[in-house]
Structure 1
Amino acid sequence: MSISVIVPTLLRPLTHGEKNVSVEGNSVAEAIDNLESRFPGIKARLISDDRVHRFVNIYVNEDDIRFADGLDTPIKAGDSLTVLPAVAGG
């Protein structure tokens, strides 16, 4: 099942400048694995030790996966996966 991944500006060099890419998967983890197979190096920027980096937020549609099942959050055709780097101010 194809889902849309919205790629933040900081990661677009890894997706050859593409802002929106399509990948397959039944969970967020599967989608990221498939993203990695197309764009090597992107997974390391999102995940370490099987957890999302603390400075990265991932949403399925408008739901933060931290408040769902994390990387095991299910996805279905037509869903949108949004990757947002956390922003800190001071």
Structure 2
Amino acid sequence: MAHGRPVHREFSQLCPSEPGSLLDSVRNVVGLGSGTLLSDDANISVLPLGDGRVMCLTETTKSSVLIDTETLDTIGKFHYTDRLRGLLQTTHPRL
């Protein structure tokens, strides 16, 4: 936060940087509804995988990343190989 307000977008949150026009507001609503303005912030949950890897989750499957458990460095995006369509993960799993 800077000056008491967010400066980086999080999931479904807009940053009130500058007052925009009515058209800008409509674009923001459409962008959030279509998913084009959603951020890639894998900061919701950490999930250990069965093969020893660790994945960080967010609300969208395109944002799941693998991390190094020793350094917490990002290894890279987790690529789903099952070809299932849609949002099929929960951001807050119960293990």
TM (norm. structure 1) is: 0.29
Structure with greater Cα Rg? 2
Structure with larger RCO (C-alpha < 8 A, sep 6+): 1
